[in-house]
């Protein structure tokens, strides 16, 4: 989606401000960003000549207010917990990150904490086999907190650099989901004597505004430290990155750019703007 060329067309084509506003809002840029752009357009501070620069400056100011780098603990293992609703891309993201870390010479262990969905354990195990990293798993239906405890134990004994923990996005009710994640968070924190280094909420870029309600649900359970915006390879506008940062102060840390194992990128303002422009 070439957001800026579309706005430029709207500007030069003498479209009404309402049309530009509708366009920005329907592409998930959020009320704050949209009204700030609109105000400056009305005051003629933003016009078709400086649109690109002004847009970039505004995006940069928002994105640079948060730290989008991944936290690494001084003493290994660094522990990343992945949460997100069903089908958002958690398991694939874990495989991609494990692969990347391994290629960078780090040792990684993955934990099949989604014991709820049939096929979830096999899916993670297959990825782990392909990229040659150990996986800790138990039978379908086991207590996820117990698998995760074992995973941490095993990772600590093996002295791995990173432990990546998968969780279920599909628990019977929201209450159960929150309860389960709270328990997982508490088990991890007790075991490693600190909070997980990252709690990454994986959001499908296509869900647009619904991303905000997902954040509301998951942050009831765990303190989210970053967002992975998956499926940012198709026609999703990605405008949602701005309201996520503006309303929640949560950085987007990674972008999923395809179904392949290499298809993940660290979030940067530059890459993000490239996608928008």
Ligand X SMILES: Nc1nc2c(ncn2[C@@H]2O[C@H](COP(=O)(O)OP(=O)(O)OP(=O)(O)O)[C@@H](O)[C@H]2O)c(=O)[nH]1
Residue 91 in contact with ligand X, rule: CB under 6 A: yes
Q: Which string of DSSP letters, residue by residue, matches 170-182? A: --SSHHHHHHHHH
Residue 167 in contact with Mg ion, rule: CB under 5 A: no
Stretch of 25-33, 65-73, 120-128, 172-180 contacting Mg ion, by CB under 5 A: 120-128
Beta carbon of residue 231, minimum distance to ligand X (angstroms, whole number): 4
Q: What is the Cα–Cα distance from 65 to 41, expressed in whole angstroms? A: 24
Residue 92 in contact with ligand X, rule: CB under 6 A: yes
Residues 216-235 that bind ligand X (CB under 6 A): 230-231, 233
Beta carbon of residue 8, minimum distance to ligand X (angstroms, whole number): 28
Task: List the single partner that 84 binds among Mg ion, ligand X, none, CB under 5 to 8 Å by kind.
Answer: ligand X
Scan for tokens 């207590």, then name that residue.
143
Q: Are 115 and 147 in contact (CB under 8 A)?
A: yes
Closest residue to bound Mg ion by CB: 91
Residue 114 in contact with ligand X, rule: CB under 6 A: yes
Question: Which letter, b or e, does each residue of 184-200 get, where b requires 16 or more Cβ atoms within 10 Å of its Cβ?
Answer: bbebbeebbeeebbbbb
Task: List the single partner that 78 binds among ligand X, Mg ion, none, CB under 5 to 8 Å by kind.
Answer: none
- Beta-strand (E) ranges in 172-212? 198-204
Instruction: Report the side by side order of strands in the sheet with 135-136.
Output: 135-136, 108-111, 162-165, 78-83, 198-204, 226-230, 252-256, 264-266
Residue 84 in contact with ligand X, rule: CB under 6 A: yes
Q: What is the Cα–Cα distance from 271 to 196, expressed in whole angstroms? A: 27
Beta carbon of residue 251, minimum distance to ligand X (angstroms, whole number): 18
Task: List the single partner that 103 binds among ligand X, Mg ion, none, CB under 5 to 8 Å by kind.
Answer: none
What does the chain come to in residues? 277
Q: Are 273 and 59 in contact (CB under 8 A)?
A: yes
What's the Cα-to-Cα distance from 158 to each of 72, 154, 162, rounded to whole Å?
Answer: 18, 6, 11
Residue 91 in contact with Mg ion, rule: CB under 5 A: yes
For residues 169 and 196, which CB has a smaller minimum distance to ligand X in the complex? Answer: 169
Total chain residues near ligand X (CB under 6 A): 22
| DSSP letter assigned to residue 4 | H
Task: List the single partner that 259 binds among ligand X, Mg ion, none, CB under 5 to 8 Å by kind.
Answer: ligand X
Closest residue to bound ligand X by CB: 256
Scan for tokens 């009305």, then name that residue.
42
Residues 157-196 that bind ligand X (CB under 6 A): 169-170
Choose, by CB under 6 A, the member of 3, 120, 128, 181 that binds ligand X. Answer: 120
Beta carbon of residue 119, minimum distance to Mg ion (angstroms, whole number): 9
Binding site for Mg ion (CB under 5 A): 90-91, 120
Residues within the interface to ligand X (CB under 6 A): 84, 86-92, 114, 117, 120, 169-170, 202, 230-231, 233, 256-259, 263
């Amino acid at each position: 989606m070439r957001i800026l060329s579309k706005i430029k067309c709207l500007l030069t084509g003498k479209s009404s401000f309402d049309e530009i506003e509708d366009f920005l809002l329907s592409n998930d840029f959020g009320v704050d960003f949209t009204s700030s752009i609109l105000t400056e357009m009305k005051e003629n501070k933003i016009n078709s000549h400086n649109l690109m620069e002004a847009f970039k400056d505004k995006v940069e100011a928002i994105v640079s207010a948060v730290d989008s780098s991944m936290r690494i603990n001084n003493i290994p293992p660094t522990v990343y917990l992945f949460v997100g609703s069903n089908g958002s891309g958690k398991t694939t993201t874990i495989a991609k990150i494990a692969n990347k870390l391994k290629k960078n010479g780090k040792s990684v262990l993955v934990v099949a904490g989604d014991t709820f969905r049939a096929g979830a354990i096999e899916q993670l195990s297959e990825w782990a086999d392909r990229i040659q990293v150990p996986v800790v798993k138990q039978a379908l239906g086991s207590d996820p907190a117990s698998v995760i405890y074992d995973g941490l134990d095993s990772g600590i004994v093996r002295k791995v650099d990173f432990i990546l923990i998968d969780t279920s996005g599909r628990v019977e009710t929201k209450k159960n989901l929150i309860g389960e994640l709270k328990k997982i968070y508490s088990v991890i924190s007790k075991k490693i004597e600190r909070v997980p280094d990252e709690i990454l909420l994986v959001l499908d870029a296509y869900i647009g505004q619904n991303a905000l309600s997902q954040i509301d649900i998951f942050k009831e359970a765990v303190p989210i430290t970053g967002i992975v915006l998956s499926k940012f390879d198709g026609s999703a506008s990605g405008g949602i990155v701005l309201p996520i940062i503006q309303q929640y102060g949560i950085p987007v840390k990674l972008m999923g750019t395809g179904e392949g194992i290499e298809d993940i990128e660290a979030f940067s303002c530059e890459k993000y703007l490239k996608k928008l422009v």
